[in-house]
Structure 1
Amino acid sequence: MSHERFAEVIADLAATLPAEHVAAWAGVLMGVDRSTDGTTVAAELIDVRPGFSVSAHAGRLVRSWRTEAPDLPGPAVALALRSAALLRQRADAHRTELAVSGPTSSSVPVRLTSSVVVEVVRAARSSLLVASFAAYGVAEVIAELRSAARRGVHIDLILESSAEHGGALRGSSGAAATFAALRDRATFWHWPAARRAANGNPHAALHAKFIAADGEVALVSSANLTDRALSHNIEVGVVLHDPGVVERLVAHFRALTAPEVGPLQRLP
């Protein structure tokens, strides 16, 4: 007998139900055999973890089970539900989301860049690595960074310098000036002119824009840390929830800031 339709129901429920419901339902199903009345099973599922429209979900599970896979005992259904939920959790841990500024469309669901920046900063528990070419305004971001510092998060800010100090920002005092309120709460990094020349291109720019929290999640975006970029410009970025990728991003920039070795230098 084909179990494809039942497998689809299991997958849908694993993607819809909270983890607590999946665990509770699996516990109930472990004690159910093929002879147990379907109505009784549904009632037990509803009772063990109320809420979240469980009545409809429980009814769907039992109907599909009895119709599409009546040969399966309860423990097998429990294992299937647990396995589908675990696979879903692993997929979620590596998901990528879009983050945009400016006009939106109905083509794809998006996250506003300004909201994502705040979310990533708030997610940090031990470290934040922030890079931006330009920076201006962003009072909300500065407030969130100050809050992160107060809860013990180590913050590194990698920022472009003004042309006067060997950078590529013209008509500006440099991106670091925007974060003056964090001078005693964060470590500031820049790319000195001499080290740019040593790299083979004295006119190169520190143009990366990203925020990484704890090596777990990161926003990589075209948007600078400016009010206009985060809210009004047409900008696009991605939110990475893949620790493996985020850790490599962080490791790369940690190497660039390595004392006496990396091209980036700590601002005094």
Structure 2
Amino acid sequence: MSDLPAVIAALARELPEVHVRAWAQILRGHPAPHPAIRGLLTQARTGAVMGARAARLIAAWSAADPPPPGSALALALETASRMHGETHRRRTDIVVSGPHSDEVPVRLTSSVIIEVIRASRTSLLVVSFAAFGVAEVTRELVRAARRGVQIDLVLEGTVEDGGALRGASTPPFEVLRPLATFWVWADRPRTGGSVPALHAKVVAADEEVALLGSANLTDRALAHNLEVGVVLRDPDVVGRLVRHFHALMHPKNGPLRPTTARH
């Protein structure tokens, strides 16, 4: 590779931030490329492939027309490294339940839900069509509430309550009634005899990270069904999603209504 921007981008992905900082310090002390700089970069941070990476950078730097000063090269490398780190922190992961393949590293839906709940510090939004069982999830929600996290549970109601859920006998998350706010979709528009369903599945923590997927909060969905989902770590995207539900909870005109007061 002789394309300097491409080499910088590749090194930003390959090198830890501590390596980038060490290399940037050396590059700032050299106004132009020189073969001796390769040895200085290699010695700054040892590693099996550091020499090859240093050689790649020096070659691309020398081939640039005109070669930028070392200070500019250092700034470009640090900037690319920071952008890569930010992108990595906001990465999206795939989550699966049920059978899996070699194409997707398995991150079980149940373990990711627990991870998201444990990550919460101030707020949790939990949305599901069906919800029952899931004792481990319930325990984590209780722990979150007891450490001061505000929890909003948006759940589908039964047919008897005006919802679309059939066959549910035990109210979900009863132990959380004194600790969280439960919401239901009220005054739904109806077309003929059909009832629109609250079919979304979301677990979002602090407007920072969210799990979206096909799995309901049931033992079968989290352990046995073939389900897929994604983990979002982009605060801009997660924030818009959470604020959408908060808008639906508006006390004057929101279609979501609380079914129990939070203590």
After TM superposition, the score normalised by the length of structure 2 is: 0.85
1:232-267 CA distances to partner (integer Å, 9 max, x unpaired)? 101111212222222221111111111131111101
Deviation for aligned residue 1:57: 4.4
Given that 1:156 and 1:188 are in contact with CA atoms closer than 8 Å, whether structure 2 keeps it comes out as yes
Unaligned 5+ residue runs, structure 1?
47-53
Given that 1:161 and 1:173 are in contact with CA atoms closer than 8 Å, whether structure 2 keeps it comes out as no
Q: Counterpart of 1:30? A: 28
Deviation for aligned residue 1:73: 4.2
Given that 2:128 and 2:155 are in contact with CA atoms closer than 8 Å, whether structure 1 keeps it comes out as yes
1:195-234 matches, within 5 Å, as 195-196=187-188, 199-201=189-191, 203-234=195-226
Deviation for aligned residue 1:107: 2.2
Q: Distance in 2 between matches of 1:211 and 1:37?
A: 50
Equivalenced residues, count: 252
Query: Superposition RMSD on alpha carbons, in Å?
Result: 2.3
Q: Counterpart of 1:50? A: none
1:58-91 CA distances to partner (integer Å, 9 max, x unpaired)? 3233211333323454323322211211221343
Deviation for aligned residue 1:171: 2.0
Worse-superposed segment, 250-259 or 80-89? 80-89
Which of 176, 183, 192 matches 2:177? 183
The amino acid that maps onto 2:178 is: D
Identical residues among aligned pairs (%): 52
Deviation for aligned residue 1:223: 0.3
Given that 1:190 and 1:267 are in contact with CA atoms closer than 8 Å, whether structure 2 keeps it comes out as yes
Which of 82, 87, 91 matches 1:91? 87
In structure 2, the residue corresponding to 1:267 is in which secondary structure?
A: strand
Q: Distance in 2 between matches of 1:42 and 1:136?
A: 57
Given that 2:61 and 2:68 are in contact with CA atoms closer than 8 Å, whether structure 1 keeps it comes out as yes
Q: Counterpart of 2:154? A: 158
After TM superposition, the score normalised by the length of structure 1 is: 0.84
Which of 35, 52, 67 matches 2:59? 67
> Which of the two has greater helix per residue?
1
